[in-house]
């Protein structure tokens, strides 16, 4: 069983930046492709970015210019940097394996509003 704990969200003005963090428990989480997801109100979880064990990254097509995913292997942490935040980025952000193998954590709320 792998558990995730996300942090770093908040209320941000349009154009601002945030870096979200995620800590995963369990040794098996170190070897998997990890991903950041978001869930906007009324929608399903949407994969926004993923990173393999080797560090290869992939992004949702419309987000790749503003989102950067990276991981700290030593501490088994995952990060998502978001620049130039837009109101449509408002969502709860979660981490998980890219294939959604594990239960969702609490997520971290990102609200973009002036």
Q: What is the pLDDT of residues 26-75, one digit of tens each?
A: 777 777 899 999 999 899 999 999 999 999 999 999 998 999 999 998 88
What pLDDT is recorded for position 75? 86
What pLDDT is recorded for position 81? 98
* pLDDT band for position 112 (cuts 50, 70, 90): very high
Burial class (CB within 10 angstroms; exposed 0-12, middle 13-18, buried 19+) of 46:
middle
CA-CA distance, 89 to 26, in Å (whole number)? Answer: 30
* pLDDT band for position 95 (cuts 50, 70, 90): very high
What pLDDT is recorded for position 82? 98
């Amino acid at each position: 069983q792998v558990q995730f704990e996300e942090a770093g969200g908040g209320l941000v003005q349009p154009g601002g930046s945030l870096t979200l963090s995620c800590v995963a428990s369990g040794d098996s989480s170190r070897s998997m492709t990890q991903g950041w997801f978001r869930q906007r109100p009324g929608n399903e979880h949407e994969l926004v970015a993923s990173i393999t064990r080797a560090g290869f990254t992939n992004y949702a097509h419309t987000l790749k210019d503003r989102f950067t995913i990276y991981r700290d292997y030593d501490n088994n942490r995952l990060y998502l940097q978001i620049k130039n935040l837009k109101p449509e980025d408002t969502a709860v952000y979660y981490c998980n394996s890219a294939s959604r193998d594990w239960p969702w954590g609490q997520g971290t709320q990102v609200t973009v509003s002036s």
